[in-house]
Amino acid sequence: MALAPVATRGAARVVRCGAVGLSTGLLAVLAHAGGGGHVPSLPHVLVFAFAIAWTCVPLTDRQLGFAELLGLVGVVQVAAHVFLALLTRHPRELVPSPSGLLAHAAATAVVVAALAGFEQAVFRLAAAVASVLPRTTTPPPAVAPLRIPIAAHAPQPPAEVLRRRALPRRGPPRS
The runs of H, that is alpha helices, within the chain are 10-34, 42-56, 66-87, 98-132, 158-165
- Tell me the three-class secondary structure of 105-132, residue by residue: HHHHHHHHHHHHHHHHHHHHHHHHHHHH
Residue 165 or 42, more confident: 42
- The residue among 120, 119, 116 whose CA lies nearest residue 108 is 116
What integer pLDDT is reported at residue 1 of this predicted model? 41
Q: How far apart are CA 165 and CA 5, in angstroms?
A: 57
87-106: per-residue pLDDT in tens? 776 666 677 778 778 877 88
What integer pLDDT is reported at residue 152 of this predicted model? 73
Question: Do 76 and 11 touch, CB atoms closer than 8 A?
Answer: no
24-79: per-residue pLDDT in tens? 777 777 777 776 667 777 887 788 878 887 887 777 777 778 888 888 888 877 88
Which DSSP string do the residues of 21-32 spell out, in sequence order?
A: HHHHHHHHHHHH
Question: Do 116 and 66 touch, CB atoms closer than 8 A?
Answer: yes
